[in-house]
Structure 1
Amino acid sequence: MALAQRLTYTIDDIYALPDGQRAELIDGQMYMMAPPNARHQDIIFSLSRKIADYIDINKGSCKIYLAPYAVFLNADDKNYVEPDISVICDKSKLEDKGCNGAPDWIVEVISPSTQRMDYSIKLFKYRTAGVREYWIVNPITKTVQIYSFDGEEDSSQFSFDDEISVHIFDGLTIKMSDLL
């Protein structure tokens, strides 16, 4: 839920939050973040391990970062997100503070409190920022919504029992039910 105290926030406001309090910033609006539950953590850990294994086996150069990891989507001080999983293939975007620019692939695992954010606000922001592939994993409905923005745009929904092809990596398929 966006905070209403002030019209526009900046990244300085994110860094000024008390220790342990997390928020994201989209177009100057701050969205507070609740701690993830165990199911959420199981999903991002298992999925990131599968992706990392694929990258290692194929001697790829992409890097994987799990939240909380700062992603500065635009060259401004009004956009800061912490995707659950960020896959970054352009190492020039990486610095100690986080990723400057759009990751190649972002995965968000939703909870009831983040559905609107992940399915609409972040979808638009990630698409316009240049993310090549965006997955929304919904453990409640056991579905994965895939958006491919690389080349011809595509959107498909899969169940946890489906084999899902990763658009940015040839030969990588993921079956969520096998990971959990």
Structure 2
Amino acid sequence: MIVATKSQIQPTLEDFLTLKETKPASEFINGKIYQKPMPQCQHSLIQGKLCETINKVAEANKTAYAFPELRCTFNDRSIVPDIAVVRWARIPLDEKGKITNRFLTYPDWAIEILSPEQNFTQVLAKLLHCSQQGTELSWLINPDDEAILAVFPEQKIELYQGNINLPVLNGIELILTPENIFNWLKF
């Protein structure tokens, strides 16, 4: 959903960053402000379980950390992937070793979970942009199709379904399949 109207002056990234945060989060892409849809049950469950699963492995050996809804501001955009996995060495710290509030670069691994009301092309375009800027891996999880698209460097895209091992960020020892992830939705 576009928050700004056509009659308004097109905001800059700096203007956008001064606005009050919205719930759900808004993103600044190509000079426009878009509000993400409100997560529903399937989205929330996958997001929570996936963060927990990644962090169980990656945080233990200080390889990376999976952040839910982390604002990533880079290359004149400010996006909020459903999950942003950041390599441990790239987590921004202040002079006291405490994590800072702003993340002013791309995530190493961006994960989006497609909601029914989201535009597939817009979400994929966001992940392709991340890939262009240095993101090593992205996933676009589609619960309706029980499929996951992976975006690799140079914008190579592969489709994963069923019991095929998914690619993960190098250094994270994790074996997951689409089947594992979509089975989380069954109670």
Q: Tell me the TM-score normalised to structure 1 length.
A: 0.82
Residue 119 of structure 1 corresponds to 124
1:155 partnered with 2:157: yes
1:147 positional shift: 1.1
RMSD across aligned C-alpha pairs, in angstroms? 2.4
Q: Is residue 85 of structure 2 the alignment partner of residue 87 of structure 1?
A: yes
Q: Distance in 2 between matches of 1:126 and 1:93?
A: 17
Match of 2:96 in 1: none
* Structure 1 equivalent of residue 114 of structure 2: 110
Secondary structure at the aligned position of 2:103 is classed as: strand
Which among 131, 147, 150 is matched to residue 146 of structure 1? 150
How much does 1:61 deviate? 3.2
Post-superposition Cα deviations, 1:43-99, rounded to whole Å, max 9, x if no partner, equal 011111111122145x133122101x211122xxx4111101111115445252232
Q: Which runs of 5+ in 1 are unaligned?
A: none
State the SS of the aligned residue for 2:58. Answer: helix
Counterpart amino acid of residue 77 in structure 2: N
* TM norm structure 2: 0.79
Deviation at 1:31, TM superposition (A): 0.8
- Once the two structures are TM-superposed, the CA of residue 100 in structure 1 deviates from its matched residue by 1.5
Q: Deviations over 1:95-126 (max 9, x none)?
A: 52232211110100011332222122x03321
Asked whether the 8 Å contact 1:160–1:176 carries over to 2, the reply is yes
Identity of aligned residues (%): 19
Which residue number corresponds to residue 95 of structure 2?
none
The aligned residue for residue 26 of structure 2 is 23
Higher strand share: 1
**In 1, Cα distance between the equivalents of 2:180 and 2:141?**
14
Number of matched pairs? 172
Partner SS, residue 49 of structure 1: helix
Distance 1:170 1:54, change over 3 A: closer
CA drift of 1:154 comes to 3.3
Displacement of 1:21 in angstroms is 5.3
Residue by residue, what CA displacement relative to the aligned partner does 1:12-68 show, whole Å, maximum 9, x if unpaired?
Answer: 3354246535210013211112210011010011111111122145x133122101x
- Pairing of 1:60-71 with structure 2 (within 5 A): 60-67=62-69, 69-71=70-72
Partner Cα distance (1:125, 1:133) in 2:
12
* AA matched with 1:111: S
Q: Who is 2:74 aligned against?
A: 73
Following superposition of structure 1 onto structure 2, how do residues 25-64 of structure 1 map, counting pairs within 5 Å? 25-57=28-60, 59-64=61-66
CA distance in 2, matches of 1:50, 1:21: 24
Unaligned runs of 5+ in 2: 93-98
Runs (4+) off by over 4 Å: none
